[in-house]
Structure 1
């Protein structure tokens, strides 16, 4: 993971973008979970978190109601989300781009303007050694609310593992 140089003497926050297919299910879940973890640890100002989609189907829409409901059942607020599409021009401003399946990772790497940018793309489950062999977080879109809850559980676990890797550097100010 790369770091940008400080601007005006102040370190820039570490910038993470979670990217799924439509930006209404998985990526908003991860965005909300990571933001909550960072805020609870007192590191919310040291990390900038966003989410986006590889496609444009849902741009401007709220998160899927089943996503918002699953987040609420787990104690999170996903009601403020608005879907957006990831664009190649987003790469330079980001330190880490997290995809939820190998298809999305391939799309993102193909959009990357450089090898440095391609290296920023990682799969979410890579951050949890016990989940890494699964590679892909299932897309719950065509499923029932219980599947959204199960997917959120996977996302919480892998996002917590990601945060455990980021937190020491964030605490030291190596943002």
Structure 2
């Protein structure tokens, strides 16, 4: 069983959406996975995902309401087989916490959708484009699913 952690900045928009989207796609594909999400920052620890993100996800039948923000820690390197960052800044912040000798892969979400020409999922907390973020997360989730199946 694959254990995958999705990581963004505050864990209230992109990474909880990626957690929910990928979990739904893996379930439909009958691929057993354990998924979670975290943020590199601690501003929203314990909070539900951002309301407008939840609303956009709900329109696509993804329920983010049970999720709560938490901060990424060095212990996550040992708890997951794969860590997926939403952008380069998140990836750098994750790598700064890597324990010596740990080889858990850390990848960019959009590396699973190279056909898009996009390297990062823009943060809809700032862009206000929740649908565009979900579009990218859905495409990249399909690519991640294909990678895990191969």
TM-score (norm 1): 0.81
1:32 to 6, 20, 37: 20
Deviations 1:60-104 (A, max 9, x none): 000001111111111211111100001001111211000011011
Q: In the TM superposition, what are the counterparts of 1:86-97 in structure 2 within 5 Å?
A: 86-97=72-83
How many residues are treated as equivalent by the alignment?
A: 150
Deviations 1:129-165 (A, max 9, x none): 213x421110110233xx1011100110011110111
State whether residues 77 and 102 of structure 2, in contact with CA within 8 Å, keep that contact through their aligned partners in structure 1.
Answer: no
5+ residue gaps in structure 2? none
TM-score (norm 2): 0.94
Runs of 4+ with deviation above 3 angstroms: 114-117
Q: What residue in structure 1 maps to residue 3 of structure 2? A: 15
Q: SS of the residue aligned with 1:88?
A: coil
Q: SS of the residue aligned with 1:141?
A: helix
5+ residue gaps in structure 1? 1-12, 169-175
Q: Based on CA coordinates, which of the two structures has the bigger radius of gyration?
A: 1
Aligned-pair CA distance for 1:115: 5.2
Q: What residue in structure 2 maps to residue 142 of structure 1? A: 126
